[in-house]
Chains A and B, each alone.
Chain A
Amino acid sequence: MSTLLARAPGVSAVRRAARANQLITAGTLIVAVIVVVAVFAPLLAPYPADAGTATHPEIALQAPSLRHLFGTDQVGRDVFSRVLYGARVSPVIAFFVLLIACAIGVPLGVAAGYFGGVTDEIIMRVTDVFLAFPALLLSLAFVAVLTPSLTSLTIAIAIAWWPWYTRLIRGQAASVAGRPYVEACRTLGIPRWRILLRHVLPNSMTPLVVQVSLDAGGVILTISALSFLGLGAQDPVPEWGLMVAEGENYFTTQWWLVTYPGLAILVTALAFTLLGDGLRDTLDPRRLPVR
């Protein structure tokens, strides 16, 4: 998504920077809240055991009350506690997904961009093949043939996501590789890997950081979508998408089972998207690849 620091000088630019700051602030704030909730869940949740295997069937399907802020689910677990603990699931998985995706995608992108030629062609074609599938579909296909679990979910989504970073980094690496000072480094005999590490990589960081924060929201949506389909987290893991799936049949009579976990997904994805938007607006005024 390309950005818009307009060439109109002066006031506009300041306004944009200010708004970008608002976005970053808003996004960071919500992300910080999510992180705090995730870290302090055992203290914040009134019934921490409900996020695990504890069940209380006698109080199943109770409406929200003072004792259970978000009501109880079909086996009597406190929905509020589970939603809080959910912050430890999707965001953490998203973190690992992006970590793995970068670990695979960035080196490949650097190699493609820097070395060019045949290496570039091969890597780019492979990237094209993976990118021929929407991420949700490819991860769905992988998880469906593996045994559904959090691990296979993480791997499956990472497999679908790495090509975006390869493409991104390749562009950056290619443009850096052509610069005169890099040529100078080469004639000076500096080894290739050093050049890659000290010149190519740092310059690619900025757009990567922006892209990763923009993607975090998408990854979280993918995680919850796959769990909703039964392919990700399994009960009793308090994953928000799974909670929506479990509450689906009771939705018209016990609306709280679906509403709160879904809101959590929305707020979390929103936070990362806002953060990503803000970062993009401030850090990288140039066009980014279409996403």
Chain B
Amino acid sequence: MKRCRAGLIAVGAVLVSSLAACGGSASSGSSQPGQAASEVFTYDTTTAVMVDGWDPATEYSDGVIAMSEMYETLTHYNSATGAIEPELATSWTAADGGKTWTFHLRHGVYFHTGRPMTAQAAKAAILRTIKLAGGASYIWAAVKTIDTPDPYTLVFHLSYASPIALEASADYSAYIYDTQAAGGGNALTNWLNAGHDAGTGPYTVQTWNKNQEFEVILKSFPRYWGGWTGTHFSKVVFRVVPQDTTAAQLLRSGQVSFIEQINSPLWSSFKGDSAIATVSSPSWQNLLAQLNSKRLSVTVRQAILYAIDYNGIIAALHGAGVASSGIVPPGLLGHFSDLPNYPYDQAKAAALLRQAGYGPGGKALNLSLTYTSGDSNEQVVATIIKSDLAALHVNLSVQALAWPTQWAKGKSSSAAQRQDIFLEYWWPDYADPYSWFANTLETENPPYFNLSYYSNPALDAMINQVEPLVATDKSAAEALYRSMQVTILQQAPMVSLYNVNYQYAMLSGISGFQVNPAYPNVVFVYDLKT
């Protein structure tokens, strides 16, 4: 979800090596933090804001990268094995055709506030998340009631079958936190947004320097249930560095430990350097082009999709992207490589435009496109699309805006202010493609993420059917995802331009890093060894 991904320039984490039980191996031993100056995790973003909101219930953007260190969920999705693993819940069972789920919670878990995590606390957190109805709270939409027969058992009663164990592993709105912190209620929200956290995770917030380069600094939580034996990092620093090249230099000089995505040529330049390890991995993130279905007819939309040089885009990305098929990326249920995707066919596009009355001799077509500023990949894509359309005498004006501005413009109540083509990245909230359909294609009034303003009641009906099917009949769900994608391809409200290939770079001394597309761009620092 949640767009703000635009920047992805560089992310780093300052990992100050701990001394914990290891007699100062990597970090020159002393008890002074900051000695291991070589482990720096710097998070780079263009808008210079890493964490905009601190509420684990409603955060729906890049903030989860930091939150994933401080908060935990009931279950965890292992994308390598495709299995749902225990986290705060040690085991679970489904009954009643997927309408009742029983979770057994882990013992000995404490919130950073000091209170122990019990079933009551977990229930309160989930109920609050549902009540606030922000972020990805729709994942709990099926929940009717929650019971807590004993302090370590959580029972969900659903109004329809739903894969709760999977949804509970979501990277948004699934965190378990202490609702009693700061007295609960409004005070809790204010306290959280002032830069505090009430999670159970290995790290807790030490300082939040709003709008500054060293935006968030986390320190280890001594009572973490996972314990601190072995060599763990004791501090995590999120650093905001707007320039790709600066971030690259910081990594080379060992001042940061990890860079999130930087442009491909720069990433490739790390390959010869023995001090740096480069990681490349497929992801579940793709770049969507949402076409304004209120202003552009189906014919025009199809023409646009035929006009785009998809392979050219992939070539220009130099490895940062791979071709898409449909909307769902590979690795998720519902991905099919044999869908009727659009080829690059200028002749077909020209014919369709003529049919709609545009083109040479007909009316002039002027379109507008917005993308998120600071992202050099999106800029390249926008330039190529502009050039492709210009070849068909379609005049595309391109505007780069900071994400909040781009989004506000897309949601504008004045239809005239809205763009014709909206570029944004999307990734799922949990390991299922439901997120794309529910958020970007379901009818929305007023628009939120459905920035093609597409409204198709038949599609809406299919979207409503698919969630229960995932819990009860996987192959039926798959078939439904397939027909939904065929419909979308035919109606052309949006297209996935490419699937993102994660390209990370980090100091080679750090081991234990695994890319997990279910938690995009998240580095579970606790699992790393220096």
- Contacts from A to B (Cβ < 8 Å): 52-58, 60-61, 74-76, 230, 234-236, 246, 248-254
Q: Known pairs A55-B388, A61-B265, A236-B386. 12 more at Cβ < 8 A? A: A55-B384, A57-B380, A58-B312, A58-B315, A75-B380, A75-B384, A230-B400, A236-B383, A250-B265, A250-B266, A252-B266, A253-B266
Among B268, B376, B391, B398, the most chain A Cβ lie within 10 Å of the Cβ of: B376
Interchain CA distance A57-B313 in the complex, whole Å:
7
Interchain CA distance A246-B388 in the complex, whole Å:
19
User: What are 26 A-B contacts with C-beta separation under 8 Å?
Assistant: A53-B387, A53-B390, A53-B391, A55-B383, A57-B313, A57-B316, A58-B312, A60-B316, A74-B376, A74-B379, A74-B380, A75-B316, A75-B380, A75-B383, A76-B316, A230-B400, A234-B398, A235-B379, A235-B383, A235-B386, A236-B383, A236-B386, A249-B263, A253-B266, A253-B269, A254-B265
The minimal Cβ–Cβ distance linking B306 to chain A, given in whole angstroms, is 17
> How many chain B residues have a CB neighbour from A under 8 Å?
31
Contacting residue for A55 out of B249, B265, B387, CB 8 A: B387
User: Within 8 Å of chain A (Cβ to Cβ): is B243?
Assistant: yes
Closest to B269 in A: A253
Residues of A within 8 A of B244 (CB): 249
Closest to A148 in B: B399
Interchain CA distance A57-B269 in the complex, whole Å:
20
Per CB-CB distance, the 3 closest pairs between chain A and chain B, nearest first, are A53-B390, A57-B312, A57-B316
User: Within 8 Å of chain A (Cβ to Cβ): is B159?
Assistant: no
Interchain CA distance A249-B245 in the complex, whole Å:
6
Interchain CA distance A52-B248 in the complex, whole Å:
32
Among A57, A235, A251, the most chain B Cβ lie within 10 Å of the Cβ of: A57
User: Within 8 Å of chain A (Cβ to Cβ): is B318?
Assistant: yes
Residues of B within 8 A of A234 (CB): 397-398
Residues of A within 8 A of B398 (CB): 234-235
The minimal Cβ–Cβ distance linking A42 to chain B, given in whole angstroms, is 18
Closest to B380 in A: A74
Indicate if the CB atoms of A250 and B263 lie closer than 8 Å.
yes
Residues of A within 8 A of B384 (CB): 55, 57, 75
Q: Which residues in window 88-113 of B have CB below 8 A to A?
A: none
The minimal Cβ–Cβ distance linking B383 to chain A, given in whole angstroms, is 5
Indicate if the CB atoms of B245 and A251 lie closer than 8 Å.
yes
Q: Which residues in window 307-340 of B have CB below 8 A to A?
A: 309, 312-313, 315-316, 318
The minimal Cβ–Cβ distance linking A243 to chain B, given in whole angstroms, is 12
Indicate if the CB atoms of A61 and B318 lie closer than 8 Å.
yes
The minimal Cβ–Cβ distance linking A223 to chain B, given in whole angstroms, is 19
Indicate if the CB atoms of A252 and B383 lie closer than 8 Å.
no
Interface string of B294-310 (1 = CB under 8 A from A): 00000000000000010
Indicate if the CB atoms of A74 and B245 lie closer than 8 Å.
no
Closest to B309 in A: A57
Interchain CA distance A57-B312 in the complex, whole Å:
5
Indicate if the CB atoms of A54 and B265 lie closer than 8 Å.
no
Closest to B265 in A: A253
Contacting residue for B318 out of A60, A248, A249, CB 8 A: A60
Contacting residue for B387 out of A75, A249, A251, CB 8 A: A75
Indicate if the CB atoms of B387 and A252 lie closer than 8 Å.
no
Interchain CA distance A54-B248 in the complex, whole Å:
31
Closest to A52 in B: B390
Among A58, A60, A75, A248, the most chain B Cβ lie within 10 Å of the Cβ of: A75
Residues of B within 8 A of A57 (CB): 309, 312-313, 315-316, 380, 384
Closest to B263 in A: A249
Residues of A within 8 A of B315 (CB): 57-58, 60
Closest to B389 in A: A53
Indicate if the CB atoms of B376 and A252 lie closer than 8 Å.
no
The minimal Cβ–Cβ distance linking B370 to chain A, given in whole angstroms, is 13
Interchain CA distance A248-B376 in the complex, whole Å:
10
